[in-house]
């Protein structure tokens, strides 16, 4: 198994072995969690695979799929480029993060190329073994203090300000039936995402202690 394969598989195996993760339920999304993200309006999960765009950047494609059990729709929540977000730290609304595709080790990415079908801004997966560049950073746009697992949120590209979106355009071969994922300059109902299946790191003891004192 290559270096990327080890990087991709080990986090989930370790979490499961240590019993350090919990599934579902209320609470904040935390760094280190591995999640599937559903576009609420179009009912597709954020997906990637080692298939490259035939136009634009030629980087690894990112699409939306309807199958809930798809194994290529898991993304790991990490701190922004060149920053550390400790495992179990709740993600704040307004915080910049990276979403790293578990199957290929590439980060959700955007740049000023046109997307293949709609002509909006291309969204791709970029980097190697979890390391890319500053165009991998996305700001979590939500209400309240923390990104809640049961809330609908938006992801705004930190460098170009577009929102991660689906508007329904559908690919033909070789990825027949999958929906285009792209960046849109305006906020709309096409931008909202919700955490579905996943492995959630428990909030750190520091966060839980702070929450306890706030409630006193």
Contact 43, 66 (CB under 8 A): yes
pLDDT at 213 over 50: no
User: For residue range 37-82, what is the model confidence (pLDDT) as tens digits?
Assistant: 999 999 999 999 999 999 999 999 999 999 999 999 999 999 999 9
* DSSP codes of every residue in 98-145: EEEETTT--EEEEEEEE-TTT-SEEEEEE-BTTB--GGG-EEEE-SSS
Report pLDDT for 2.
Answer: 40
d(CA 62, CA 121): 12
User: For residue range 123-135, what is the model confidence (pLDDT) as tens digits?
Assistant: 999 999 999 999 9
Q: Which of the four pLDDT bands, split at 50, 70 and 90, describes residue 206?
A: low
Q: Which of the four pLDDT bands, split at 50, 70 and 90, describes residue 193?
A: very high
Q: Which of the four pLDDT bands, split at 50, 70 and 90, describes residue 86?
A: very high
d(CA 117, CA 131): 28
Residue 183: which of 127, 146, 137 has the closest Cα? Answer: 137
- Residue given tokens 């080692």 in the structure block: 50
d(CA 34, CA 198): 5
Q: What is the mean pLDDT of the chain?
A: 87
Q: Where are the beta strands (DSSP E) in 34-95?
A: 34-39, 44-52, 60-65, 75-79
Report pLDDT for 202.
Answer: 87
């Amino acid at each position: 198994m290559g270096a990327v394969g080890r990087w991709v598989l080990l986090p989930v195996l370790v979490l499961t072995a240590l019993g350090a993760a919990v599934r579902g339920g209320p609470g904040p999304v935390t760094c280190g969690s591995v999640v599937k993200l559903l576009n609420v309006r179009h009912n597709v999960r954020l997906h990637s695979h080692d298939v490259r765009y035939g136009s634009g950047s030629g980087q690894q494609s990112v699409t939306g799929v309807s199958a809930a059990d798809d194994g290529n729709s898991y993304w790991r929540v990490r701190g922004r480029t060149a920053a550390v977000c400790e495992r179990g730290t709740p993600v704040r609304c307004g915080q910049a993060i990276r979403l790293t595709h578990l199957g290929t080790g590439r980060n959700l990415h955007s740049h000023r190329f046109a997307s293949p079908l709609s002509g909006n801004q291309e969204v791709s997966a970029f980097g190697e073994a979890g390391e890319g560049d500053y165009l991998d950073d996305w700001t979590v746009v939500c209400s309240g203090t923390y990104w809640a697992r049961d809330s609908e949120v938006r992801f705004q590209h930190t460098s170009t300000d577009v929102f991660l979106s689906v508007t329904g355009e559908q690919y033909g071969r070789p990825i027949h039936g999958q929906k285009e994922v792209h960046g849109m300059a305006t906020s709309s109902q096409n931008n909202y995402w919700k955490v579905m299946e996943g492995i959630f790191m428990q909030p750190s003891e520091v966060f839980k202690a702070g929450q306890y004192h706030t409630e006193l």
